[in-house]
Amino acid sequence: MTRARARATLATSCVTHFLHDGFSDVVYVLLAVWAGEFRLTFAQVGLLRTAYSGGMASFQVPAGILAERWGERGLLVAGTAVTASGFLVLGLTGGFTTLLLLLLLAGLGSGVQHPLSSSIVSKAYENGPRRAALGTYNFSGDLGKVTIPALVALASAVVGWRWAAPAYGALGLVAALGIFSVLKRLDAGAARPGSARDRGGAGGGWGIRDRRGFQALSAIYVVDNTTRTSFLTFLPFLLIAKGSTVAAVGFALALVFAGGATGKYVCGVLAERLGVIRTVVLTELVTGGGILALLALPLIPALALLPILGVGLNGTSSVLYGTVADLVTPERRSRAYGLFYTLGVGSGAVAPALYGLLSDAWGVPATLAIIGLAVLTTIPLSQLLRVPLAGEAPSHPL
């Protein structure tokens, strides 16, 4: 693939990621509105969020497997259309059950995005700066997380959520058609001749070239993702204990997300220069050290530290996503990404509840200290990647 086509493929995947992460995080804005309008309990509110994230997690591996036979392009566009359609009819809902079913459907559709888009980008940059490209791709998702919920919240205040949410759904349908058209013109994500069995590789059906390396990478991702979700869950309570207001907590989270968006891009590029292992060690030291330092700092210095902490907190993921492709055969890459993302989503869903029990027993500061120390276990784990990545390709420009 030429450099121009690779860049166009990356840009299209970035648009797709922006769109889907917007769908995912706009739910957070709408939950409070639905709770008031439909008189939902907190348990019902939690179930609505679980429906979307659970649907998304459950379809990632199947999407990766199906893409081997049908190609990423058709499944990616179909999933995007399903998610958009779910939001398009949200405005017609009259209660909890309908909301639950529509969010489950939308989440299932969105399950195609991470594994298939990542596979498309990694194939486009097979002989180029794959980690930097995936860092750019991940950065686009963070832009969607920041932008779309804010716009939908503003639109809901003006015209109501029953118009705002379907409007974004309609935009998603139009975008799905555009994504299909561009990917087809670029010949990206198309089905390839031969069955998945004919094209398969090693690894007992997963195409994993190095089981030990893939297991180590997955373990790093699980620790990194549980750290991120758990830290963000309990950070507001720590800041309030330091004297923060609820409004200032929102500002603090924005600082973390801004640093995280920067980290996803910068660390992807940094891995091309320093290598995977050095970058992982650096980002996890920043994360663990930052969390531990946060416990001792007063409020204002703590707020100043958050963007730097955000770089490490989110930056590792870009390095890990790009490294998956080094450990699996190209033909099974969609499947491997589906497995990898499912492990991360599952661990991220379970960890906050477990750390919540710990917080009830020992308090939030002690829990955050354990989280900060736990993330440092990724440093010895990263050393297990030395042999699998010994032949790592040199850097190339995007």
Nearest to 155 by CA among 142, 177, 170: 170
CATH among 1.25.40.10, 1.20.1250.20, 1.10.645.10, 3.40.50.720 for 211-385: 1.20.1250.20
Using an 8 Å Cβ cutoff, are 26 and 165 in contact? yes
pTM over 0.85, yes/no: no
Of 24-33, 56-65, 233-242, 364-373, which range is least confident? Answer: 24-33
Per-residue confidence (pLDDT) for residue 268, from 0 to 100 = 75
Per-residue confidence (pLDDT) for residue 396, from 0 to 100 = 44
Residue 26 has pLDDT above 90, yes or no: no
Token pair belonging to 378: 């990724």
Per-residue confidence (pLDDT) for residue 391, from 0 to 100 = 57
What's the pLDDT band for 192 if we cut at 50, 70, 90?
low
Task: Give the Cα-Cα-Cα angle 187, 323, 261 (nearest 5 degrees).
Answer: 85
Fold matches, 3-187 and 211-385: yes
- For tokens 């089981």, the residue is 211
| 325-341: pLDDT as tens digits | 778 887 777 778 778 88
The CATH architecture that domain 3-187 belongs to is: Up-down Bundle (1.20)
- Residues facing 208 on adjacent strands: 328
| 262-304: pLDDT as tens digits | 887 788 778 878 888 899 999 999 999 999 999 999 999 999 9
Question: 246-274 and 276-296 are packed helices; what angle lies between their axes, rounded to 10 degrees?
Answer: 160
Q: Quick one: 38 exposed, middle or buried, by C-beta within 10 A (0-12, 13-18, 19+)?
A: middle
* 40 φ/ψ sector (left φ>0, alpha ψ -120 to 50, else beta): beta
Residues 308 and 316: their CA atoms lie apart, in Å, by 13
Question: 161-186 and 72-88 are packed helices; what angle lies between their axes, rounded to 10 degrees?
Answer: 170
Using an 8 Å Cβ cutoff, are 128 and 396 in contact? yes
Residue 349 has pLDDT above 90, yes or no: no
Q: Where in the chain are the domains?
A: 3-187, 211-385
Residue 201 has pLDDT above 60, yes or no: no
Token pair belonging to 330: 């190209």
| Secondary structure (DSSP) of 59-128 | THHHHHHHHHHH-HHHHHHHHHHHHHHHHHTGGG--SHHHHHHHHHHHHHHHTTHHHHHHHHHHHHTTTS
Per-residue confidence (pLDDT) for residue 78, from 0 to 100 = 96
Give me the chain's average pLDDT, please: 84
What's the pLDDT band for 364 if we cut at 50, 70, 90?
confident
Using an 8 Å Cβ cutoff, are 300 and 239 in contact? no
| 261-273: pLDDT as tens digits | 888 778 877 887 8
Rg (CA), the chain: 21
